[in-house]
Amino acid sequence: MRKINAVAEFDGERRRFLLRSFRETLSRQSVIDMNSAFRTVAAVPPPRFWVSETRAAAIVGRMLAGKNPLEGMHPERREMYREIFARFMRLRAERKDASIAELTAEIVNGPAPRSYLACETVRSVIYKEKQRLRRERGEHE
């Protein structure tokens, strides 16, 4: 479980990616539909999985040991770890001598099929990033 106020090393990259995708999505809409825009952004394939290498390796290791660390997770997270695990098993078959950490690092830093974020999470991240940028520019909200 994530610690309160923990900041992932990829957080800035994720915020910039989501905001850029949001702006591109809005620019393509003839009629602005925010809910549709957030759903579209959640489905855009990101440049990496939005999980740390350490966390992914821990989950994959537990799955290899026959445990079910996915129980109780949000459905989007659970699906993301299943995708990571499937990729891990394929990669492990090719490179038997590589460690769990090496293989999961390669996987999570590679392209993901989608963000694996709920629409509400995407909305929250985008609004918070827009507020942060306004504060940096010294604009009042």
Residues 41 and 86 in one domain: no
**Same domain for 105 and 118?**
no
Please tell me the predicted confidence (pLDDT) of residue 137. 86
At which residue do the structure tokens 């009042």 appear?
Answer: 140
Residue 1 lies in a domain: no
In a shared domain, residues 55 and 93: yes
- Same-domain check for residues 124 and 136: yes
Give the C-alpha distances (Å, rounded to integers) separating 58 from 61, 62, 81. Answer: 5, 6, 11
End-to-end CA distance of the chain: 33
Residues 108 and 119 in one domain: no
- Residue 100 sits in the same domain as residue 123: no
Regarding whether 135 and 108 lie in a shared domain, the answer is no
Which pLDDT does position 5 carry in this prediction?
46
- CA diameter of the chain: 56
Give the range of the structural domain holding residue 80, as residue numbers without chain letter.
50-112
Q: Measure the CA–CA gap between 73 and 81, rounded to whole angstroms.
A: 10
Q: 2 in a domain, yes or no?
A: no
The reported pLDDT for the residue numbered 122 is 94
The low-confidence residues of the chain, meaning pLDDT below 50, are 4-6
- pTM of the predicted structure, to 2 decimals: 0.83
Check whether residue 54 and residue 107 sit in a common domain. yes
pLDDT at 140: 59
Is 102 in the same domain as 55? yes
